[in-house]
Structure 1
């Protein structure tokens, strides 16, 4: 039933995904943001010992960076995007007022561990190392994507498909490490090496693709998909898990043993069943990264 409901909701929402990215609502009011009803089943799963940073408030840290995940609205202070929308659904479900705290990405672990906020919803991947200090409630797939010029005939489905290509990737990123492993594997098999390119500026990166100086860009699928839907200059030519060859998922992150994770997982699963979850993903062109069911503390990426 859960799978059928999700797929039906995604099918209805998919047609609106492109339009959503074409005409982005950057207002602080966000009138199209789905809201949830109070979820008694989720509330009952809150631990009696659970202590919130503020009474009656769900305080969530988000690193406002780029849409579709999160960015500032036109008032330059309200954080909008898919992660704030998920935070809103969880807060509504738990009968709490939502308070979003903008943070730098590097600061969230200490702030969460110290109880400064109740959760982090900011594209955090589940890893075994993080599970030692935090609990997780999954809400989206962690996927990487290869993007090429809109008229490209490239199709990248496995490591050998990148042999001899000129590929842009971010330095010191997970996707760079995966690309380097693919390249090493290909060279060992006698295939042509990848010409790996690095650009710090997104505009320069885009010009490299459009001018033909590079064949493809490898990065977080959600960011590139949103950009492609918005301007139509690039397209997806290959996608795979951010934990390749393992599956990785993004999750709401809470303090270890805080007594919040099971309630949050239940809240998310209810929103998957009633279609609100699909509406959030459709608003931000994230439909392909939908999960069928939220899990509490699933297997994470292994320690390196």
Structure 2
């Protein structure tokens, strides 16, 4: 049975990459699980397991997928996977402040197990993973990496989640849905400057103004506390950012609710994928392993455990269409 190990020696400099793990989509409205899923209190607050003891269910080996693993990777029996543990529920340090836990870690461990390997999880600054993969230091990256056509020039991908952005409002708000541009007309929306979500919101705002609808009031905050205070005090109507972290926060404190999901590359679909070195053959093994996890139900359990079921994919795709070059 595959084992899970962790490489020590992470420097304090990694903390500066906290927001970059979100693949250039900052989350102005979100803060940073027992194996069967998070427990829910009477108040609707879910308790996620952030302890080092994750009690994961072992994934079964898929011989067909394991046979696709390149010899250069399987020879030491390990799969070295880079993660950036700075954004729950994707990846974050556990309560011992040294063990990475979260959805990306669980997917990496399960993928390694289904390929008959041991997951060697390496905490990595977001800015360092590309060079690490190219040099062979990391055999895969599971760190909320969005597939783009530019990245496909250097890396291969096996998708495992949809890239989703979420509109959230306070839990007692009368706002019930945000599906298209008219739904944000005249609203006060918190969004991250220079992000994909800001670009989408700007296009929606322009569409509204052309149609004679009220303009969006864009609000920008430097930290999550100020953003949360603005929303809860009624100074803002909505936040718009990466769904994963906002969903975790909403489940953890029940103070906000999801009212709309938008593809991260709107109007195009965007995929989150396991990232590997171009042409080394491992992406095909990763795709087969991920599809095995999807088929046997392990994948759904992992996403449910971390509150990410809304981002599930029906199957892993090898080098899916990426967002175009800007």
- Kindly provide the CA deviation profile for residues 121-149 of structure 1, in whole angstroms up to 9, marking residues without a partner as x: 00011111111110000001110010001
**2:122 corresponds to which of 101, 114, 136:** 101
TM-score (norm 2): 0.85
Moved more, 182-191 or 225-234: 182-191
1:40 is displaced (CA, Å) by 0.6
Q: Secondary structure at the match of 2:299?
A: helix
Q: Secondary structure at the match of 2:148?
A: coil
Question: Do residues 181 (structure 1) and 207 (structure 2) align?
Answer: no
CA contact (8 A) 2:83 2:143 kept: yes
Against the structure 1 CA distance between its residues 302 and 130, is the aligned structure 2 distance closer, same or farther, given a 3 Å change threshold? same
**2:320 corresponds to which of 277, 284, 298:** 298
CA contact (8 A) 2:38 2:48 kept: no
CA contact (8 A) 1:53 1:117 kept: no
Q: Separation in 2 of the partners of 1:233 and 1:47? A: 47
Q: Separation in 1 of the partners of 2:39 and 2:240? A: 21
| Partner in structure 1 of residue 52 of structure 2 | 28
- Kindly provide the CA deviation profile for residues 50-91 of structure 1, in whole angstroms up to 9, marking residues without a partner as x: x23982210011111111100001111110000000000111
Question: Do residues 265 (structure 1) and 287 (structure 2) align?
Answer: yes
**Higher helix content, 1 or 2:** 1
Q: Separation in 1 of the partners of 2:201 and 2:115? A: 41
CA contact (8 A) 1:126 1:251 kept: yes
1:262 is displaced (CA, Å) by 0.7
| Partner in structure 1 of residue 234 of structure 2 | 212
CA contact (8 A) 1:143 1:241 kept: yes
Against the structure 1 CA distance between its residues 53 and 191, is the aligned structure 2 distance closer, same or farther, given a 3 Å change threshold? farther
Q: Secondary structure at the match of 1:145?
A: strand
How many residues align structurally? Answer: 287
Q: Separation in 2 of the partners of 1:174 and 1:205? A: 18
Question: Do residues 65 (structure 1) and 89 (structure 2) align?
Answer: no
CA contact (8 A) 2:37 2:301 kept: no
1:28 is displaced (CA, Å) by 1.1
Q: Separation in 2 of the partners of 1:123 and 1:38? A: 25
Q: Separation in 2 of the partners of 1:189 and 1:17? A: 44
Q: Separation in 2 of the partners of 1:34 and 1:115? A: 29
| Partner in structure 2 of residue 39 of structure 1 | 62
Alignment of 1:70-89 (within 5 A): 70-89=91-110
Against the structure 1 CA distance between its residues 18 and 29, is the aligned structure 2 distance closer, same or farther, given a 3 Å change threshold? closer
Q: Secondary structure at the match of 1:45?
A: coil
Q: Separation in 2 of the partners of 1:41 and 1:54? A: 17
RMSD across aligned positions (CA): 1.7
**2:133 corresponds to which of 88, 107, 112:** 112
| Partner in structure 2 of residue 90 of structure 1 | 111
Q: Separation in 2 of the partners of 1:295 and 1:18? A: 32
- Kindly provide the CA deviation profile for residues 253-282 of structure 1, in whole angstroms up to 9, marking residues without a partner as x: 000011101111111111111111011001
Unaligned runs of 5+ in 2: 1-35
CA contact (8 A) 1:53 1:59 kept: no
TM-score (norm 1): 0.91
CA contact (8 A) 2:83 2:123 kept: yes
Unaligned runs of 5+ in 1: 1-14
Against the structure 1 CA distance between its residues 262 and 17, is the aligned structure 2 distance closer, same or farther, given a 3 Å change threshold? same
